Structure 1
Amino acid sequence: MTEADYVVVGAGSAGCVLADRLTEDGRTRVVLLEAGPRDRNPLLRVPIMTGMLLRGRAYNWAMTGEPEPSANGRRLDQPRGKVLGGSSSINGMVYTRGFALDYDSWAQRGLPGWSYADVLPYFRREEHFEEGADDFHAQGGRVQVSRPAPDNPLFDAWKEAGAQVGLKACRDFNGADPEGVGFFHFTIGGGRRVGSAQAYLRRAERRQNLEVLTGATASHLIFDGARCAGVALADGREIRARREVIVSAGAFHSPWLLLRSGLGPPEELARQGIAVRAALSGVGRELQDHQMARVLMECTQPVTLFRLRRIDRAAAALLQALVFGTGPASRFPLLAGGFLKTRPGLDWPDIQCHFLPGLTTASLRWNPFAPQGPLDRHGFFANAYVLRPFSRGRVGLSGPSAQDPPRIEGGMFADRRDLETLRDAMKLLRRIFAQPAFDAFRGAEIAPGAAAQSDEEIEAYLRETALTAYHPVGTCRMGMDAAAGDVVDARLRVFGVPGLRVVDASVMPALTSGNTHAPTMMIAEKASDMIREDAAA
C-alpha cells in the first residue's frame, strides 16, 4: 500500500498539471496513476502521426459508443489517450481557449471565480507563446504554443476565399475577437508535440515527492466512513490519500469511476448491483461533444499531402521530423480554419472550421453519397462542427467488472437544432470552395457530392457521416446544486463526499467554443490553487 497527500487518477491534460503544481513545494507528496504506458515512443512527438494515433490502439482506449438513433444507428469511435499525457499525447494539438462569453456564461450560472476575467490569468500562466506576450498571451509558462507557418498554396486560397465570401480575417483565435478565418495556434515546439506530459510532468518527475505509476488501472474508490480515502487498483493494490483523491480520468472514465464506487444515479447503480453511497443524479449525464462533418473536394494540381503517400517521401519526412523537428511531418496540417456564423443575426460564431490540403482514408471511407473512387488522388477538405450543441448524451456502466468499459451514448443530433446548424455549415463550406480563389485547384466535389443538394439530402448525408470532434465534456458537471444534477461545486469538490474532487473536462457546465485541451489545462491550473488554498485553511 502506498500513501500520499494527494492521489491523482489519470495522467492526462489535467492530471499532469496537478502532479506538477501540487509538488512544487517539494514537501507535498503526490501519487499519479495512469492506466497506460509511459510516453517513450519518439513517434508520439511527431505531429503528423496524430491520425495514426487516433485510429490505433497502442496508446488509445479505442472505445466505441452505443448505436446513435438519430445517426442511422451508427456506433461512433471514441478515441481517448491511454498513455502519459492522455489525449494530449495523441490529439491534433490545436490550442484554442474558447470565447470569453463561454466562461462568462459559467459565472452567470452562479459559479464564482469562473468568468473570463477570472480564468484568463490561468490561460496565460500555462502558456509560453512563441510570438511574445501581450494582454492575452504570456511567455514563461509550461506549454509551448506556436503558429506554424503555412506551407501550401491551398492555405492562401482558403484565406482569400473567405474574404471573397465576405468573412473577415482573424489574426488571433485566442485574442479579443476570434471570429473570422485565419490560422490556428498549436501545442508544438521545435517541430514536436508538446503534450501535458512533456510540458508539466517531465520536470515534476525529477522531484522526490512525486511517484508516477503507469499500468495502474483504477477499479474503485476507497472510503473511510463518508470520506474518500484512496483508490483501489484493478491488480489489488490500494493507494491511500491523507488529504484528497483527485479524479482526472476524463469525461468518460471519471464518471465511470464514480459510478463504480457507488456515486451516481441510484437507478444506474441498481442495474449493476452497486450499493448507493451518494445519490448524485448528474454523474454521467449532460455529455456534450462537438458534432462534425466535412466537405471533400478533388484537387486539380499536385500540391496536396498526397505527395507523402509515396513511401520514400513519407519516410524522409518522418526522419526529418524525428531528427531535426522540421519538414512536412513536423506540423499537423489543419493549420487554417475559422470561427464562423452560419446565418446573420447571431451574436457570436456557431461553428468552427478546419481546412486540410489533403484527403485521408478516414475522409473517403465514409462517403456513401459519391462513388467510392481510388484513394490515390489529390484533394482537400474542410470540416465544420457545432460549437455549442444542444444535444446531450450520457455515460454509464456497461457491466459490473473493472474491465468493462464505460457505456457511451453520445446523443448525436438528439436535438434537431444541431443537425440544422451543421447542414447550414455544409452550405457555407460549399460557398467558400466555390469562390474564385479555388478556381485553380477545384475539382469535383467528393462529398457530400452531387446527390446531396436539398436540405433533406444534406441532412441524410450528415446522419450517415457525421462524427464527433472528440471533445467530450460535462459528465461531472460543476454547479451549485446537487439536486439539480450538478456533481461538483465551484471548487470542484464532489457534493456530499469529503476528500474527493474531479478536475478535468468532465466538470465543464457547458462545452467551450473550440478544442478542449487548453481549457482543461486551465481548469487544472486553477484547481491546483484552490486545492492548496483549501489545505492551508
Structure 2
Amino acid sequence: MPQTFDFVVVGGGSAGAALAARLTEDPQVTVALIEAGGKPPAHEAMPMACASLQLDPETDWMFRGSAGKGAQGFLNKTVPVPRGRMLGGSSGINYMVYVKGHPGDFDNWAARGATGWSFADVRHCFERMEEVRPSNEAIIDSEGRGTSGPIGVGIRSPVIPAARQFVQAAEAVGIPSGDYNGSGRFDPNGVVSLVQTNTRDGRRSSTYHGYLEGKAEERTNLTIITGAHVTKLLLDGDGHDLACRGIEYRDATGGLQQVHARRETVLSAGAVGSPHLLMLSGVGCRRELEAVGIHCRLDNPHVGKHLKDHYQVPMAFRAPGVGVPLAELGLSAGPDALRGPDGPLPEDPVDDATLSPEKQAIKDEAERRLAEWNEHGTGYAASSIYDGIGFFSTGLGDDYTHDAQIGFVPTCYGRDVIADRLLIDVDQFFDNPDAVFAPEAENVIILASNCVPHGEGELVISSADPSVQPEINLNYFDDPHDLKIMVAIQRKVFEIAANWPGGLGGWMAPPKLAKMHDYRDGDVPSDAMLENVALHFAATVYHLSCTCRMGDVVDERLRVKGVKNLRIADASVMPEIPSGNINAPSIMIGERASDLIREDHTIAMETA
C-alpha cells in the first residue's frame, strides 16, 4: 500500500534538500524526500577531491551531451554532463564556487514576468541560507550577507600566492577588487576577488551537510527514501485538468513503489531530471512524446527547451615560480592519492613495509598534510583549486548584468581531469602533454567564460524507458553573439596575463590551431584564431538551467501550468541563466519555494 505524506519532494539535491528541511520545520507537516542516490561518501567532504566524484555511478548520473558547433577538440566531440546523484545532489559534486549572481539577473527575471523574483524579493533567501566567515585576505561586505545560515561560505586557507597575483593583475587592467557576492557586482567596472566557496572549516558545505545532516534527517516528520529512481508522476485526468497525486519509483531491488502526496508533489530533480520526468509522465511536446510511444497527457512544447549552460575556454600559460605542481596537490590529498601504476607509492599499502627512504619520506609528508586538513581544514585540500574570480562587462550587450567571467586555476590540473572528466583531447590542446602533466611542471589556467549566453539548447526524450537518458543538445555557439563575446573575454585574459606581478610565461596555444592560423609564441592571436580556440575547447561549467522556465512551464509561484498539485523547484525554472556559477541561486530557489508553499498552505517556519 502506498505511503502518503503532505508533500513529496523528488530529488535531495541543491534545492530539494533545502526545501524538504524548511517545510519540516513545522512539526505538523510530513514530507517524503525521494533521492536516487544515497548519502555522500567520506571523500566528498574534501574540496580538492571533487573531480573524483565524477564518473562514479554512486555519485554521478554521468550524462553526455552534444555541443553543436562546439567541442571540436573534444574526444568524440562529446561534452560531459555530470549531475550529482546523492543527497546534496550537484552541491556535493561541484567545484564549490559560491556566486549569488548580479542583482540585475533577478531584476531581469522579474521584468520577464517572474513576479516575486526580483533581487529585492529573493535577497532574504540568500542571506537566510549562508553563514559567511570574514577574511583578512579579501573584501567581504557585512551588509547583505548572512551569518547564521546552513551553508558555510568562506575563503580557503592558506591563500595560494598565485591567486593573490591574479587579483593584482586584474586590478591592473581596471577591474576593482571587492565582494562579488555583495556591492562589487554593482560596480560598472566589474569586480575581482579570491573565490568564496561553499565550505566550512575547509570542508564541503553541500545542502546535505547544511540542511539535512543531523537535526533535520532525524525529524519524525521527514522521511528520506534513498536508492529510489523515480520513473513517473502519478497523474489523474487529462488535458488541462490534470492533477498529480504522487510518484512511482523503482527501489534498490528493482521493485516498483508508489508514494502519494495529500497536498503537493515538488520536482527538484534538476535541469535534466525534472523535464525528463514530466516527459516520461506525458507532459511535453506531443510530437516528441508520441515518437517514443508515450501518450501525451498535456501538450507543452516548452518542456525541456530553452536549455542554457555556461561554457568556458581554458587558456593555459607557462608559469615558472607561480603555478602549483601536480606533485604538491597529490601530496596534499594523502597517501591513497599517490597509489597506482603512475604514483610514487605502491597500489597495495601492505607493500609500504619495504619503501625506500625517499618514498617513505613522501608517504610521511602526505600523511602530515592529510592530518593538517583533517584537524584544521587548511592546505591545498581545502579548495577545488579554482581560487580566483572576476566579473566585468564586455560592452557588447546585456547591460543589466556583467556578461563576462574569468576564473583562475593555479595549476594545469591533471590528465585525469582534462581528458577523463572534461573529455578534451589533450594531444590537440597541448603541444607536449607529457611535459605539461609532469609532476613538477608549473603552469596555470585562466578561464574565459560567457556569463549570459544567447544560444539555447534542448532536451529531447529518446525512450519511454526511464533508465535511458534524454538527448542533451547544448548547442554551444548556436547564436553568433556568443562567439563575439567569448573573443572579447579571451582578449581580457591576455591583458591580465600581460600585467601579472613579476611576469607570467607564454600562452600555450593549441598546436593544431597555431599552425592553421600561422601563430607563433608571442604573437597577438587573430579574432579568427580565438574563435577557433573557443569552438574547439570551450568546456561546460556544469550550469544547466532554464528547461522548465517560469512563464512557459511553471508560473511565478513555481506551479506547473496545467497540472494541479505539482511544482518544480530547481535550476530548470530559471527564466534566464544568472551571470555566474549557479549553485547558490539553485539553493535560493529551494528556499524561495519553501516561502511560496508555506504561504499557500499556512505552514509555520522555525524561528530559533
Q: TM-score range by the shorter chain?
A: over 0.9
**Structure 1 letter corresponding to 2:234:** I
The aligned counterpart of 2:144 is 136
CA distance 1:469–1:430, shift in 2 (3 Å): same
Question: Which of 193, 208, 214 is residue 220 of structure 2 equivalent to?
Answer: 208
The aligned counterpart of 1:341 is 393
Question: Which of 315, 320, 328 is residue 380 of structure 2 equivalent to?
Answer: 328
Deviates further, 398-407 or 78-87: 398-407
CA distance 1:345–1:269, shift in 2 (3 Å): closer
Q: Report if aligned partners of 2:37, 2:58 keep a CA contact under 8 Å in 1.
A: no
Matched, 1:161 2:169: yes
After TM superposition, the structure 1 = structure 2 runs for residues 243-322 of structure 1, keeping only pairs within 5 Å, are 243-301=263-321, 304-306=324-326, 307-309=328-330, 311=338, 312=362, 316-322=368-374
Q: What's the CA shift for 1:344? A: 7.7
Q: Report if aligned partners of 1:17, 1:525 keep a CA contact under 8 Å in 2.
A: yes
Partner-residue secondary structure (3-state), 2:312:
strand
Please list the CA deviations of residues 358-385 of structure 1 after superposition, one character each: whole Å capped at 9, or x if unmatched: 1112347545254133211111111121
Question: Hey, what's the Cα distance between the residues in 1 that align with 2:3 and 2:145?
Answer: 40
Question: Hey, what's the Cα distance between the residues in 2 that align with 1:424 and 1:438?
Answer: 25
Matched, 1:516 2:573: no
Question: Which of 121, 124, 128 is residue 125 of structure 1 equivalent to?
Answer: 128
Question: Hey, what's the Cα distance between the residues in 1 that align with 2:205 and 2:292?
Answer: 40
Q: Report if aligned partners of 2:102, 2:402 keep a CA contact under 8 Å in 1.
A: no
Please list the CA deviations of residues 126-153 of structure 1 after superposition, one character each: whole Å capped at 9, or x if unmatched: 1111229833112221111112245222
CA distance 1:17–1:262, shift in 2 (3 Å): same
**Structure 2 letter corresponding to 1:205:** E
Please list the CA deviations of residues 478-519 of structure 1 after superposition, one character each: whole Å capped at 9, or x if unmatched: 01xxxxxx0000000000100100000000000001111111
The aligned counterpart of 2:491 is 427
The aligned counterpart of 2:537 is 465
Provide the aligned length of Structure 1 versus Structure 2.
Answer: 527
Q: What's the CA shift for 1:445? A: 2.0
Question: Hey, what's the Cα distance between the residues in 2 that align with 1:59 and 1:323?
Answer: 26
Question: Hey, what's the Cα distance between the residues in 1 that align with 2:159 and 2:592?
Answer: 37
Deviates further, 51-60 or 208-217: 51-60
Among all aligned residue pairs of Structure 1 and Structure 2, give the percentage whose two residues are the same amino acid: 35
Question: Hey, what's the Cα distance between the residues in 1 that align with 2:372 and 2:269?
Answer: 34
Matched, 1:183 2:194: yes
Q: What's the CA shift for 1:227? A: 1.1
Q: What's the CA shift for 1:51? A: 2.1
Deviates further, 179-188 or 379-388: 179-188
Q: What's the CA shift for 1:308? A: 2.5
The aligned counterpart of 1:100 is 103
CA distance 1:289–1:346, shift in 2 (3 Å): closer
**Structure 2 letter corresponding to 1:58:** E
**Structure 2 letter corresponding to 1:125:** R
When Rg is computed on C-alpha atoms for both structures, the one with the higher figure is 2
Matched, 1:384 2:448: yes
Q: What's the CA shift for 1:326? A: 2.2
**Structure 1 letter corresponding to 2:248:** A
CA distance 1:504–1:345, shift in 2 (3 Å): closer
Q: Report if aligned partners of 1:294, 1:426 keep a CA contact under 8 Å in 2.
A: no
RMSD of Structure 2 on Structure 1 (CA): 2.0
Unaligned runs of 5+ in 2: 135-139, 332-337, 339-361, 520-524, 604-608
CA distance 1:408–1:458, shift in 2 (3 Å): same
Q: What's the CA shift for 1:303? A: 5.2
Question: Hey, what's the Cα distance between the residues in 1 that align with 2:304 and 2:210?
Answer: 30
Please list the CA deviations of residues 219-247 of structure 1 after superposition, one character each: whole Å capped at 9, or x if unmatched: 00002332100101133100111111100
The aligned counterpart of 1:443 is 505
CA distance 1:287–1:303, shift in 2 (3 Å): closer
**Structure 2 letter corresponding to 1:425:** I
**Structure 2 letter corresponding to 1:165:** V
Question: Hey, what's the Cα distance between the residues in 2 that align with 1:298 and 1:230?
Answer: 55
The aligned counterpart of 1:394 is 458
Question: Hey, what's the Cα distance between the residues in 1 that align with 2:581 and 2:70?
Answer: 24
